[in-house]
Structure 1
């Protein structure tokens, strides 16, 4: 799954990379978590950023606790699941990012967070779908989730799933309302491990309350658990 990511770039960098206008201020984020309001670009409005909440509430879960929101969906079956079929066809989006986190389990109680980025450290995006529904207060709320796929060789060392990472070329296809189902499914593949980097980061990322540049810095294993052999 993908449960945390970073977007540590400026508003100007986002607008230049995605060729979309952002009509509100944006502060770099280092620890984006589910339920938070973050920028996305939709197939309906590809020239502007929208701000949606991370976590779709399915029909059967309306008015249920936040914990029951869906933050990921499997790319392999998103076009078949009744919960997602409509969004897959009509409500696709890309989620800007410059890194994502996964936790490597080392025993029953120990997990080491790792950050994954592009090799050159630039911006990319995740493939996503979005939805809209009316809350009990009559408010229209827009939400999204991130599609995941089988891990590449790099991510598989840490986790058994990874988000679908898009390039500028595949972003255009994903946001194109005229792309066929076959074209869309072809996009939803593991990103090349040769074009990515991974490194351990501070366990401060474990808490959603922490959101600072320190979270994306490479952390020596000794700084985390006092044991250099953890990464040997």
Structure 2
């Protein structure tokens, strides 16, 4: 699973990389995001109601209503920020979003922790000419309307698809890794048939990935710079 990633791309570069017209960019003068945790807002690339690519800010984590086991009364909802690939087509929680509302999640690195007290924080990325080459995770999105954090809220929420890890990531997280998409597959993920989109979910080649930073003393919110 992934609970921390970075996106230090300026909006203009995101528009260029993901072929989004400036009129469909809702970010404004957004600041770089070196540490994105669950429940934070972060950019996603979607197909909007007109069938055009757009960049929206989304709450990271699908909102799952919960009730108290003791009283049966509603309590603070849970934010589910990872969607397992083996659940996308079978779980009612994910199925419709996978079929109808897929998105790209722009990133420049992601972090996994290994061990405890102290943990080793390892920041992964992809190979390329830049210091931190940009890439995109496979994601899904949906709207939420209801009580959240004590307030009535209207949100766009996103979740990151995870799959089995490649050899590089498995040493740190042997069970899951985020599904990274090749740029040639962005259109199919956003607008293709679900069966074709599902075939794109696979471990990103280990030889095309790098470890940007790793260390026991590395704070989790510093490695994404």
Specify the alignment match of 2:59 in structure 1: 53
Q: Aligned with 2:156: secondary structure? A: strand
Specify the alignment match of 2:117 in structure 1: 109
Taking only aligned residues, the RMSD between alpha carbons, in angstroms, comes to 2.2
Separation in 2, partners of 1:4, 1:46: 29
Shift of 1:70: 0.6
Number of positions where the alignment pairs a residue of Structure 1 with one of Structure 2: 206
Specify the alignment match of 1:126 in structure 2: 137
Among candidates 63, 68, 73, match of residue 83 of structure 2: 73
1:202–1:215 CA contact under 8 A, matched in 2: no
Specify the alignment match of 2:173 in structure 1: 159
Specify the alignment match of 1:142 in structure 2: 156
In structure 2, list runs of 5 or more residues that go unmatched.
Answer: 68-72
Q: Deviations over 1:59-81 (max 9, x none)?
A: 55796425x21110101221111
Q: Aligned with 1:171: secondary structure? A: helix
In structure 1, list runs of 5 or more residues that go unmatched.
Answer: 218-232
Matched, 1:215 2:219: no
Q: Deviations over 1:60-107 (max 9, x none)?
A: 5796425x21110101221111111111111111110011000112xx
Among candidates 19, 32, 39, match of residue 35 of structure 1: 39
1:31–1:205 CA contact under 8 A, matched in 2: no
Q: Which has the higher helix share?
A: 1
Specify the alignment match of 2:209 in structure 1: 196
1:7–1:97 CA contact under 8 A, matched in 2: yes
Shift of 1:134: 1.2
Matched, 1:16 2:16: yes
Q: Which has the higher strand share?
A: 2
Specify the alignment match of 1:180 in structure 2: 193
Q: Aligned with 2:54: secondary structure? A: coil
Q: Aligned with 2:185: secondary structure? A: helix
1:35–1:54 CA contact under 8 A, matched in 2: yes
Q: Aligned with 1:184: secondary structure? A: helix
Change (3 A) 1:145 1:203: farther
Separation in 2, partners of 1:90, 1:151: 26
Separation in 2, partners of 1:83, 1:215: 32
Q: Deviations over 1:161-201 (max 9, x none)?
A: 1100012111111101xx22321111011101010001305
Separation in 1, partners of 2:98, 2:224: 32
Change (3 A) 1:139 1:111: closer
Shift of 1:43: 2.7
Change (3 A) 1:63 1:72: farther
